Copies of this chain bind each other. A is one copy, B any other.
């Protein structure tokens, strides 16, 4: 059995774990806030440290002589998988950062790089909620909205590693200007901050809600997750915010059904904490908008590996790139 270290570099958290090639478990799980202030050097040092800790924990559990094949890294894009370079990450402030080779040098192990959302979707296909899917689309809803396409168990990268940027498909051509330069991007309406902002606006306008109690009155700490939790606990105002989000997401997913006709759509991120309050109206919106044979063929599910899908997927991406035909 060979082992791969999966590294999930997020704008918020850095997550690392050691995964056997059969994906049966995850050893030496590590999570820390990403060292953003330290720039590329800080991040590489932090990755080096967490990988070292993860490996030593894995060795303590499995034996000192386990076969470590390499390191699979998932990072925010746009990036170039061939050169292993992160081209630009607004959240981390990196430009043309040769992350793959820097991590590989620091740890003396071969490494691969892929988009973080691609990795999360691949992880859900490999070990999570999208198992068995042949045409799997995933949305990762967090600070932004990432996405990934997994066809027959392989990440579909497109011609230049851009494929799957579902958060930057417009849902209204003359809509809200997005950071990316486009107008009306899904991300501008349904990412975590947009959900929190809609809730905050409602609270400030006097909505009757228990939501402030979830953040001890510190409204600037509202997140999509707190809104989702309050909705799940029955708060009517938060339920409405979630329902609005569900309609927006459902419309976007309907487009993906008509464009790609997937058999699985997996939704990842804190917003899935809202459970059926999100999924019921969302799936209903998809049913009303998309072609019937497309709706019938597709199951829409929440991710089942919160916090670890990206690590599993980064390890799987390593195997595909280093051992496979990718």
Contacts and interface: CB of A to CB of B under 8 A. Distances in A.
Interface in A241-273: 247-248, 251-252, 254-263
A101 interface: no
Interface string A109-135: 000000000000000000000000011
Nearest to A87: B293
A173 B172 contact: yes
Give me the 6 closest cross-chain CB pairs, A-B, nearest first: A158-B261, A159-B297, A163-B261, A162-B294, A160-B297, A162-B261
30 contacts: A78-B291, A78-B292, A80-B293, A135-B159, A147-B259, A149-B260, A157-B261, A158-B260, A158-B261, A158-B262, A159-B262, A159-B298, A162-B261, A162-B291, A163-B259, A164-B259, A165-B294, A166-B259, A169-B259, A170-B289, A171-B172, A172-B172, A172-B184, A173-B247, A173-B251, A180-B291, A182-B289, A182-B290, A183-B289, A256-B259
A162 B255 contact: no
A221 interface: no
Contact of A291 (B168, B252, B259): B168
Nearest to A134: B159
A162 B257 contact: yes
Contacts of A173: 171-172, 247-248, 251-252
Contact of A160 (B172, B288, B296): B296
Interface residues of A, number: 54
A255 B168 CA distance: 7
Contacts of A290: 182
Interface in A166-189: 166, 168-175, 180-184
A59 B189 CA distance: 61
Contacts of A235: none
